């Protein structure tokens, strides 16, 4: 691998791309450390520390938000929203395209249609930024709105209305700049820019997680050296399993019959890959986003003077470290795994395209039988992938609740964090592999190529 990186540095174009990508990442991290106007950094830091030490107060939720913003939420920095509003808008547009005929028609128009959809995604990002910005700013003014305890001192300085207006504008502008910088990385750098920005935010929290582990292993800590070594071994095993989940697929054999220029019929064979984890990280993102609301809503209702006891019971049941939360969270992951496949995978269209191209699945008649076969195969593959994804998503919660591993550390043993990191690293390595191969350099694998490119 080091030889491949050295070869990449020797190529002028690749060196320029790598330096450009590094520069953008530095700018993003810099924006994630500058506090927003009107924030009292000392009061906010003390409040976040007190909350994250108490999971029953919502520390799990706050730690999760802080993780994906790369620590920006701790300081209520310019990049507190990060690039997630753009990701949210993109997901919404992907779900709307198959549902709204006008958007589906645009997608079929080729480059121009996809450009219009991208423009609509940017407009939707503005709306999502405004909504999330108001929610975050109001939470700074009154944390109890989201089920958190009241701070010892105010977290902001000045007029509350002016604070909300100014910070919604600042947070929205920062997110839009992040979106533009991500597009610049995709065009002029290495890898998918938006995904890299998210990944760097996650990775930036790893040093803090390592320090927490070292502190727990030192004299008087709750962990011994053997426990630390076991955790390291578990981390490598879970990472390997995540790679298998991300790269795994089932091959559906495809036989093709084409007419040559001399009028003869020629045969050819290939395969159609059905990904085990077709939905990727989307089910965990959807489920995690939805599970943030019950605790906040029930906690808000429980704080009313005339509140019924049921709201307090439900608020406790849906805290991040409770079994009820884990059960509902797991069911939502399974549900969204099948929902995403049903929304994005169209066996009828695939069967029709195969028939038009003169291709067929051996032993399966073209048309509706092919669509039924693909639907059945994809359902079985998705079932295995959804169960695997469920285990991967719940494993950090198991470490957190059973062994007392800090939430910040446990997040790197599965869930969204590990899936995003593995996926982005594989994609970036694949792009570097392609550039090096075109220039007759050895890539990252001497005996072959990364699976995502090996059969292209």
Q: How many CA atoms lie within 13 A of 68 on its CB side?
A: 22
Do residues 81 and 132 lie in contact, with contact meaning Cβ atoms separated by under 8 Å? yes
Task: Give how many domains the chain has, as a whole number.
Answer: 1
What pLDDT is recorded for position 448? 45
- On whether residue 382 sits in a domain, the answer given is no
Q: Is 251 left (phi over 0), alpha (psi -120 to 50) or beta?
A: beta
In terms of Cα–Cα distance, which of 105, 131, 107 is closest to 118? 107
* Burial degree of 415 (CB within 10 A; 0-12, 13-18, 19+): buried
Residue corresponding to tokens 């991290």: 29
- Domain extent for 75: 1-204
- On whether residue 351 sits in a domain, the answer given is no
* Burial degree of 205 (CB within 10 A; 0-12, 13-18, 19+): buried
- On whether residue 173 sits in a domain, the answer given is yes
Do residues 148 and 62 lie in contact, with contact meaning Cβ atoms separated by under 8 Å? yes
- On whether residue 99 sits in a domain, the answer given is yes
pLDDT tens-place values along the chain, 456 residues long? 667 667 777 778 888 888 898 899 898 888 888 888 888 777 777 777 666 555 444 444 455 556 566 666 667 788 888 888 888 888 888 778 878 888 888 877 777 888 888 889 899 999 988 888 888 888 788 776 655 667 667 777 878 888 889 989 999 999 899 889 988 988 888 888 888 888 888 888 888 888 888 888 876 667 788 888 888 898 899 888 888 888 888 888 888 876 555 555 556 678 888 888 888 877 887 787 778 778 777 877 777 777 778 888 888 888 777 888 889 988 989 998 898 888 788 888 888 888 888 888 888 888 888 899 999 999 999 998 899 888 888 888 888 888 878 777 888 887 778 888 888 888 888 877 777 777 666 655 554 455 444 444
Strands of the sheet with 265-275, listed across from one edge: 265-275, 249-259, 359-360
- On whether residue 104 sits in a domain, the answer given is yes
What pLDDT is recorded for position 380? 92
H helix runs in 35-100, sequence order:
41-52, 59-68, 72-75, 84-96
∠ Cα 49 317 202 (to 5°): 40
Question: What does pTM read for this prediction?
Answer: 0.77
SS3 274: strand
What pLDDT is recorded for position 441? 63
| Residue 90, φ and ψ in degrees, nearest 5 | -65, -40
- Residue ranges of E strands in 276-356: none
- On whether residue 151 sits in a domain, the answer given is yes
Helices (H) and strands (E) in the chain, counts: 20, 3
What pLDDT is recorded for position 262? 52
Q: From CA 276, how far away is CA 383, in angstroms rounded?
A: 9
Residue 13 sits in a domain whose CATH number is: 1.10.3370.10
If one counts every other C-beta atom within 10 angstroms of the C-beta of residue 303, the result is 14
- On whether residue 281 sits in a domain, the answer given is no
Do residues 172 and 178 lie in contact, with contact meaning Cβ atoms separated by under 8 Å? no
What pLDDT is recorded for position 61? 47
């Amino acid at each position: 691998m080091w030889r491949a990186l050295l070869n990449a540095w020797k190529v002028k174009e690749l060196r320029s791309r790598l330096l450009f990508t590094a520069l953008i990442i530095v700018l993003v991290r810099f924006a994630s450390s500058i506090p927003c106007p009107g924030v009292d950094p000392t009061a906010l830091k003390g409040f976040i520390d007190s909350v994250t030490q108490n999971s029953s107060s919502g520390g799990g939720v706050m730690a999760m938000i802080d993780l994906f913003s790369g620590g920006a939420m701790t300081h209520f920095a310019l990049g507190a929203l990060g690039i997630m509003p753009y990701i949210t808008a993109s997901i919404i547009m992907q779900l709307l395209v198959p549902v709204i005929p006008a958007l589906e028609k645009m997608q079929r128009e080729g480059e121009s249609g996809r450009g219009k959809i991208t423009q609509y995604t940017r407009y939707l990002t503005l709306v999502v930024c405004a909504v999330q910005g108001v929610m975050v700013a109001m939470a700074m003014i009154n944390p109890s709105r989201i089920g958190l305890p009241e701070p010892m001192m105010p977290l902001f300085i000045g007029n509350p209305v002016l604070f909300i207006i100014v910070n919604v504008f600042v947070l929205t502008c920062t997110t839009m700049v992040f979106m533009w910088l991500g597009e610049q990385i995709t065009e002029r750098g290495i890898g998918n820019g938006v995904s890299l920005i998210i990944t760097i935010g996650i990775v930036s929290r790893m040093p803090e997680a390592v320090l927490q582990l070292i502190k727990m292993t030192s004299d008087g800590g709750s962990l011994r050296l053997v426990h630390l070594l076991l955790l390291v071994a578990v981390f490598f095993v879970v990472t390997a399993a995540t790679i298998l989940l991300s790269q795994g697929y089932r091959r559906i054999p495809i036989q093709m019959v084409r007419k040559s220029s001399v009028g003869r019929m020629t045969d050819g064979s290939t395969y159609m890959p059905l990904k085990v984890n077709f939905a990727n990280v989307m089910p965990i993102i959807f489920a995690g986003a939805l599970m943030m609301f019950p605790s906040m809503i029930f906690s808000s209702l429980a704080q009313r003077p005339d509140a019924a006891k049921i709201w307090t019971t439900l608020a406790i049941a849906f805290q991040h470290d409770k079994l009820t939360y884990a059960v509902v969270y797991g069911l939502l992951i399974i549900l969204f795994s099948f929902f995403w496949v049903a929304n994005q995978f169209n066996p009828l269209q695939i069967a029709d395209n195969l028939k038009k191209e003169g291709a067929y699945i051996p032993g399966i008649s073209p048309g509706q039988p092919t669509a039924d076969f693909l639907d059945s195969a994809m359902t079985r593959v998705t079932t295995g992938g959804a169960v695997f994804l469920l285990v991967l998503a719940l494993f950090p919660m198991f470490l957190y609740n059973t062994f007392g591993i800090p939430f910040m550390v446990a997040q790197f043993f599965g869930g969204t964090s590990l899936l995003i990191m593995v996926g982005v690293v594989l994609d970036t390595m694949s792009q570097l592999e392609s550039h090096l191969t075109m220039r007759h350099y050895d890539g990252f694998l001497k005996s072959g190529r990364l699976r995502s490119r090996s059969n292209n």
